[in-house]
Amino acid sequence: MNIQFSTYVCATGQAFNVHIEGTTGLLKTDKVQVPFKVSVDGESTTLNTNGAVSAVEILAMLEALFNSNKSLQSVTVTDAHPEIQALVGANTSPLVVNRDDFFQLRPLWVHNGLNTWTPEKWTTTKDVAHPVRPAIQEGQILYRRTLSDGKVLTFRVAHIEKDLDIFHEWHNQPRVLKFWELDKPKEELRDYLAKGLKDGHQFPTILEFDGVPVGYFEMYWTKEDRLGPYYDSEAFDRGFHFLIGDVSVLGFANTDAILKSVCHYLFLEEPRTRKIMAEPRSDNVNVLKYLETFTAWKKLKEFDFPHKRAALLECRREAFFGGRYL
């Protein structure tokens, strides 16, 4: 076994480098080095953490193992830290961490991964009752994950001064204009982003690869969205609209990783989210063809928006995590 892996714990801001050669591992930060042992016996992998390590350090070790081997389904952790046992929801010794469970452990990937649930409070917007939505901060990192090819994918809230030029450039590409119709002057796009940053139900997000902006996402809550009345929407259903602005990252492999990551983010950020919805044009052949490969998504029906004939798509939490897409 030979692994070189870097990760960033989004909930704490800690960066880790993991090196494994044979059965010997070393986890490094800018301040500490933590040795550990790994043994492989057929399809079984055991992680010996030597006891005196934190929960996030164990998470970084586990991510290196799961990320480097798509067929790895579980890791046995000896002498597991009580915090990692609490995260997994088991207090057995040794602790067995299954792949399906691991990718639902929130601290690694989402900004609020250490937060506990807050009381559910409701409000009304335009005669629609819905939970009060969390506030966002301009430029805030929301999600970060190292992909299997080594690229670091990040979703962060848009920052007007930082992102306006590239946002304007993307929306003046003919292939983007066809769907978004936002080929506006910069000052109008500045106002568009500013409005989004103040909108409780939908907010503007920049997608980055290795720190470079490559796309734009609008994340929204469907209950108070225009989509809400067209199906039996639940309180924490999510949705998104997106564009890939950098043509160099177009292609199935990158798009597949991006779409699986946005689903991962939306399910992890709010544990009460059971469904992610989408409403592409009903004649969008590329999107509907993609569902054949990302089968957590299902087409439920077609319906008429005021501006288009749409297909209603649904991705359920249990289908996503049970399908082992990460």
Active site residues: 279
**Quick check: 322 and 100 in contact, CB under 8 A?**
yes
In angstroms, the CA 326 to CA 320 distance is 9
Strand partners for 217: 205, 242
Strand ranges for 268-323 from DSSP E: 275-278, 297-304, 309-316
Q: Which residue has the tokens 């890939």?
A: 244
Q: Which residues contact 137 (CB under 8 A, 6 or more apart)?
A: 157
3: left (phi over 0), alpha (psi -120 to 50) or beta: beta
Q: Which residues contact 64 (CB under 8 A, 6 or more apart)?
A: 3, 5, 7, 18, 20
In angstroms, the CA 138 to CA 195 distance is 12
**Quick check: 7 and 146 in contact, CB under 8 A?**
yes
**Whose CA is closest to 143, among 152, 155, 159, 158?**
155
The helix/strand/coil state of 32 is coil
Structure tokens at 204: 């503007």
In angstroms, the CA 108 to CA 178 distance is 37
Q: Which residue has the tokens 């994950």?
A: 145
